[in-house]
Structure 1
Amino acid sequence: MDSKEVFLQIFRENIHREGSDALLDYLEHKSDFFTAPASARFHGSYPGGLCEHSVNVYRCLEAYLERERVRELYGLDYSPESVALVSLLHDVCKTGCYKAGTRNVKGPDGKWQTVPTFFYEDSLPYGHGEKSVYILSGFLRLTREEAMAIRWHMGFSGDEDKRLVGQAFQQYPLAFALSVADMEATYFLEKDEA
């Protein structure tokens, strides 16, 4: 199965709350979610990279939450729906933001050559995690912990006040877990793509 098929299977098996059908219709037919890159020049910077990254984050979050220490010592226990929702949709803010183009780079022979790239153009500059929460909230109701997890998934690599990141992680452990899963997917699973 390709990433889109895996994404759809995970979504359909786990996410059933009111509004999820409309959200899935939006993702499939009214957005570029399944064809968008995950970034302009780093991880997943190719068509379909966003969907692939989302599936990777799901797998990493699921594995993190299955750890004995995480379950027993930290007491983290979330429904399959919450796990699927926050991981698959944390970067929905990236839909409609990447435009295909070209740029010039020096080739191995030292000569300039034109290569394909993506340019980031955000027509709804609402932030990153908060934009994902905003978009999702137009379709379905998130729990406070789900909203916080998506909002703060960039962790300490975002531009926010670091005290707020730490406070969010303390109050909403799913935010920390999602951030770990996002970083693992980005820097370990997808590192060769960067």
Structure 2
Amino acid sequence: MTSKERFIELYRTYIHRDGSEKLLEFLMSRSSDFFEAPASTRFHGAYKGGLVDHSLNVYECLKDYLERPRVREIYGLNSVSEESIAIVALLHDICKVNVYRPSKRNVKVDGQWQSVDTFEFHDDLPYGHGEKSVYMITGFMRLTRDESFAIRYHMGFSSEYDDPRSIGYTFEHFPLAFALSTADMEATYFLEGEKK
């Protein structure tokens, strides 16, 4: 099964909210490069199809995190629906649709300059990262408050633009946000990492 097929299968199995099918139609349309886009320019998932692979990795990491007894019993995340898990994990980086363009850059290999494939970032809707994902999703379907905060703050303390007090408050009051951020970091740094 390809990553695209796996994504669509998970999406259609768990996400049934009004408007969700229209969102999936957009992701599969010619107006979207979701299934071909990289997840970054040079770091994690910096290859064609890296975005969908990253989304699936975050989904698996989030599922694992939410199974921990401490998370379920102490942190109160024992009733997160399968739909919410799928929405926040599979769609947290929808803001990366149509923002990467194939490019070239020169690097030294064994003392010689060589041209290598890379991606350039060009965002025609610079609305922020998590906030842009929330904005794009809610153009098709409603999100719960927990889902909105999870997607908005999934970058956690690695975001250079957010006040750390807001992030801390969000993680304390919306534990799904902390869970998604943890899953995103695990996928990014341990499963994917910089492409060599």
Task: Give me the whole-angstrom Cα distance separating, in 2, the residues matched to 1:182 and 1:168.
Answer: 16
Relative to the length of structure 2, the TM-score reads: 0.97
Q: Deviations over 1:78-101 (max 9, x none)?
A: 000000000000000000100001
Gaps of 5+ in 1: none
For the residue of structure 1 that corresponds to 2:87, the secondary structure is helix
Task: Give me the whole-angstrom Cα distance separating, in 1, the residues matched to 2:87 and 2:33.
Answer: 18
Give, in angstroms, the shift of residue 120 of structure 1: 0.2
Give, in angstroms, the shift of residue 192 of structure 1: 5.7
Identify which of 174, 188, 191 aligns with 2:190. Answer: 188
For the residue of structure 1 that corresponds to 2:137, the secondary structure is helix
Task: Give me the whole-angstrom Cα distance separating, in 2, the residues matched to 1:6 and 1:151.
Answer: 25
Q: Deviations over 1:71-118 (max 9, x none)?
A: 11222020000000000000000001000010001112x111100000
Match of 1:37 in 2: 38
Task: Give me the whole-angstrom Cα distance separating, in 1, the residues matched to 2:6 and 2:191.
Answer: 17
Amino acid of the residue matched to residue 9 of structure 1?
E
Match of 1:14 in 2: 14
For this pair of structures, how many residues does the alignment match?
193
Task: Give me the whole-angstrom Cα distance separating, in 1, the residues matched to 2:154 and 2:187.
Answer: 12
Query: Once the two structures are aligned, what percentage of the paired residues are identical?
Result: 61
For residues 161-180 of structure 1, the aligned pairs below 5 Å read 161-180=163-182
Relative to the length of structure 1, the TM-score reads: 0.98
Amino acid of the residue matched to residue 170 of structure 1?
E
For the residue of structure 1 that corresponds to 2:118, the secondary structure is strand
Q: Deviations over 1:131-152 (max 9, x none)?
A: 0000000000000110000000
Task: Give me the whole-angstrom Cα distance separating, in 1, the residues matched to 2:193 and 2:41.
Answer: 15
